[in-house]
Amino acid sequence: MNMLSSGPGKVSILGAPRLWNIVFIWTLLVYAAGLSIDIMEPDAAVYAEISMEMHDSGNWLNIFHKGKDWLDKPHFPFWMTALSYKIFGVNAFAYKLPGILFVLLGAWYVFLFAKKFYSARHGYIAALLLLTAEHIIISNQDVRAEPYMTGLTIMSLYHFALYLLAVRPSFAGNIAARLPAATGPGKWFHALAGSLALSCLIMTKGLFTIIPVAGGIGLSLLFAGRWKTIFHWQWLAIGSLVLIGLFPSLYGYYLQFDLHPEKEIFGQQNVSGVEFFLWTSQWGRFTNTGPITGKGDLFFFVHTLLWAFLPWAFLAFFALFRKTKELIRGVSATENYTYFGFISLFIIFSLSRFQLSFYLNPLFPLLAILTTAVLLKQKTKTLRTFAIMHGVLCGLLLAALGLLHFFFSGSMPHIDTLVILLTGSGIGFYLFTRKGKYLKKIVFATALITLSVNYYVNRDFYPVLLTYQSESQVGYYVKENGIPAKDLVIIGDVQSVADIILRQVTPVYPFADLGVEELEGKYVYTDETGLQKIDSIGKPYQLLKVFDDFHVTMLTGKFINRKTREAAVDKKYLLKIE
């Protein structure tokens, strides 16, 4: 981090190399604490189990969950996780690591993009905003598909933006004069790298993922009136490169589903895996015509952004407002890729009927660049206002953390947590009390306090919370007590995280299919309904363990309050059938 120091030949960023070092260390600590948290049910556990089956079977083209054909998300995240399993073994660390690396890749490309179109100063601050955004931190400990998309989206947009500048340098318009001279790889390197990233992006969550890239490039060209560039023949070549990159997934779907119309998927036969991948899966969710439907709220992502991009949300809304105003007035003198890339998918998401908070994560690199660009243009009066707002926000975050700890735990946090909290908060509020230095208050003080709060969440809150995820607790109990894992069966809902802990595909039997032969001599993990079913069959059993169970990704106030928690949890049971 010495490159952040001031001096000849070095980059001076707010003149605070020590603060950058502290923020860097705090970020590493928060992410490392997140790596130690158990895999969560249901989505992350399913992805981890699928990757385990792919790793164990060596079949990288077909996707199976619990030994059955699985048609939902495409292959790329499973390939990355299976590869990580080969290196580090099948465990939670190996499952989460690739996703975190792709987020760090995204931060690197945020820096490169902002450095190219603005300055190195912009790049460092934008990368910091991305890495400290609340939902990015959450998604790095509850890893799903979004961390991969976060890195691949900005990677693809960056390379296509540089490809455009190589093809049509004049497209830079008003900023051409201050852009550094083109050096390094040529246009076809950027075309190939952008196409590869876009192919991997599509193979992560479907065809809709091209929207922020295509919207960023296409709408910028349209706004600039570059019709010849829009209809340039080289886009066909790039499209061909993307299709070549998609071939492994398309071929895998064709082999697994299209060649086997007899397979029953989603209660239907003659299901095309290729069609599902290219249309039904994600586009069907937007139009509410797919196998998975939802209820849309026009303002869902507006109020989601308020907490998901904390502590930078108010700055982000301000930046979007200012950039929109500039574009309407026709006075935008900077790049427009990030604005149009963000706004195109944000509007489509808002109009869709299927909405989840983590859908916004791939847009956060674009929003971080845009927010930084607007922030660094503001005058002292505006900066002072935001410094005050961030000081109040940080105070509220710490107060909320105190209430959370009081109601949820009541015991002393770990010593390292106290050190991180007191040190980070102390430095942060020291900066807030200093006269002037508004950018340091907004950037460093806010980041340090936010990271300190999230260190507590990853180090103290989630490890205790996950003791109520009985699906993982039963796996640990079986291992610690020498119970033969091969004799364990699950009755009721499909659970996956125990499979990672026990390194096996544990059989699951629905209540309706339960018979005497499935129970004979087995260890059974089930809920109250399963217990009643076993009683009705008349098989004698020994009750080995009762687990408290709660859906840990759907917290409620009743559960958080330790005084009312018992009424909020369900019971799960581990039985030994005689």
* Pairwise CA distance, residues 90 & 35, whole Å: 14
Q: What does the mean pLDDT of the chain come to? A: 89
Q: Residue 1 half-sphere exposure, CB side, CA atoms within 13 Å? A: 13
pLDDT band at 15 (very low <50, low <70, confident <90, very high): low
Q: Cβ neighbours of residue 306 under 8 Å, at least 6 residues apart? A: 313
Q: Rounded mean pLDDT of 61-73?
A: 92
Within 8 A by CB and 6+ apart from 44, the residues are 95, 142, 143, 144
Distance between CA atoms of residues 69 and 256, nearest Å: 8
Interval 547-575 mean pLDDT: 94
Least confident of 214-223, 251-260, 344-353, 368-377: 344-353
**Distance, C-alpha 230 to centroid of its chain:** 32
* pLDDT score for 176: 44
HSE of 46 in the Cβ direction (CA atoms, 13 Å)? 15
Q: Write the DSSP assignment of 455-466 as a string of letters.
A: HHIIIIIHHHHG
- For residue 170, what pLDDT is reported? 56
**In the chain, where are the structural domains located?**
105-375, 380-467, 470-577
DSSP structural state of residue 256:
I
Give the pLDDT confidence of 436-458 residue by residue, as tens digits: 889 999 999 999 999 999 999 99
**pLDDT tens track for 76-113:** 999 999 999 999 999 999 999 999 999 999 999 999 99
Mean per-residue pLDDT, 551-564: 94
* Cis check: omega of the bond before 248, within 30 degrees of 0: no
Strand partners of residue 576 = 523, 542
As a whole number of angstroms, the distance between CA 549 and CA 466 comes to: 9
Mean pLDDT is lowest, of 265-269, 272-276, 309-313, for 265-269
User: What residue type is 401 in one-letter code?
Assistant: L
Confidence band for 27, pLDDT divided at 50, 70 and 90: very high
Specify the CATH architecture of the domain 470-577: 3-Layer(aba) Sandwich (3.40)
pLDDT at 173: 44
pLDDT band at 171 (very low <50, low <70, confident <90, very high): low
Helix axes 446-456, 120-132, angle to 10 degrees: 30
10: DSSP letter: S
**Which comes out higher in pLDDT, residue 399 or 180?**
399
Contacts of 453 (CB under 8 A, 6+ apart): 397, 398, 401, 421
For 116-160, write each residue's pLDDT tens digit: 999 999 999 999 999 999 999 999 999 999 999 999 999 999 999
Express each pLDDT in 244-259 by its tens digit: 999 999 999 999 999 9
Percent of the chain exceeding pLDDT 90 equals 70
11, β-bridge pairs: none
Q: Which helix (H) or strand (E) holds 489?
A: strand 488-491
